[in-house]
Structure 1
């Protein structure tokens, strides 16, 4: 299996480049990340269930891609999961999984694609980071949550090397607008010896 798409992911610089890349990658995405043992979806889902064990409360899987994250969330216990992704080809894969209540496309440049307060918990699994969504996405998701809402997300090793991502998280924590409930460094793509931090953050 060629790693062309995966390796190119970390060199994307604009929303347009990112969108085009994932459109092309959609057909082989699951094979490629699966070959390397993609572990982050399961880790995020299990961590969120520990702090938010509400199987019937609707949650949003932001940047759901082909639905691997939705499958992990269902396996963890969440029964009402909505998905959003800017990539039509990825959403076809997500729909085929049969794990989502609703699936929505959105424009990658839309600054406010989520109605404020519509979900008590939002996940962004492998979404915010180098070659994917910019640091500002963290603000977008936190603002969409109500007080007491939870954001479950991950930063892979490439993203952790860029201080603008952890800096955005720390700004929220330092000003008391959010509380860190969980952080764990662990396997992301074990086949490539890549790891990720998994976080659960509560909006205060």
Structure 2
């Protein structure tokens, strides 16, 4: 039994899906607190975010289709779903014709849910994106998607460094950032620093893109240059 003290998840009688989602944003980014929280949330996560109009997976997939317009190309594209959770993004990607999808996430119970979808080739739990992704060889993937991870109380902007490393030169990263996260994380500035080094370049952004009923997100489409 974990001894981490963190925000309560277990529902009170009058709790709503909105209450639980808001509680997740009170996390401090501490790995133990996050792991405990999502272990308890895994069973009801899909229902809660669906109830709150979660469109991040659909929007992320639409952008992925834009950068790989040919269906035959999508079937050959290797994809890493970083912070895959219960597999909502993977399901959307598979429906769009992406055939080689792997997933990583901090929470083992969330990964177990993703495995039940049958859409992933390989899944790995226990991965903290604030640290190098040692379970993946550098320059492995054609496409990396990261939806719902860069949000308040979860990962720092520097996690972008580790995501860039697992994408091959010429590959693409598609990342969502909740607007509340952008205003307090320094993500935009850190991305700019990476661009200045020549590691990545910005292909496009989607400002105020659909994300969840409460709040929009900014979506970033990035090219890994070297």
Fold shared, TM-score > 0.5 on shorter chain: yes
- What secondary structure sits across from 1:3 in the alignment? helix
1:48 aligns with 2:71: no
1:38-117 to 2 correspondences below 5 Å: 38-53=54-69, 54-55=73-74, 56-108=76-128, 110-113=131-134, 114-117=136-139
Post-superposition CA distance 1:105-124 (Å, at most 9, x none): 23426523321011111111
Post-superposition CA distance 1:61-86 (Å, at most 9, x none): 11100000101111222121111112
Q: Which moved more, 1:105-114 or 1:137-146?
A: 105-114
1:201 aligns with 2:206: no
* Contact 1:128–1:138 (Cα < 8 Å) also in 2: no
1:182 aligns with 2:182: no
Answer 1 or 2: higher relative contact order, Cα 8 Å, separation at least 6: 1
Q: CA deviation at 1:44?
A: 1.0
RMSD: 1.6
- What secondary structure sits across from 2:206 in the alignment? strand
Which residue of structure 2 aligns with residue 31 of structure 1?
47
Structure 1 runs (4+) greater than 6 angstroms displaced: none
What stretches of structure 1 of length at least 5 have no aligned partner?
none
Which residue of structure 2 aligns with residue 167 of structure 1?
189
Q: CA deviation at 1:89?
A: 0.8
Provide the C-alpha distance between the structure 2 equivalents of 1:98 and 1:132, rounded to a whole number of angstroms: 26
- What secondary structure sits across from 1:148 in the alignment? strand
Quick check: which has more Rg, 1 or 2? 2
Q: TM-score, normalization: structure 1?
A: 0.92
Matched positions, count: 202
Provide the C-alpha distance between the structure 1 equivalents of 2:161 and 2:43, rounded to a whole number of angstroms: 30
Provide the C-alpha distance between the structure 2 equivalents of 1:179 and 1:154, rounded to a whole number of angstroms: 16
What stretches of structure 2 of length at least 5 have no aligned partner?
1-15
Post-superposition CA distance 1:144-169 (Å, at most 9, x none): 22211111110012212124122211
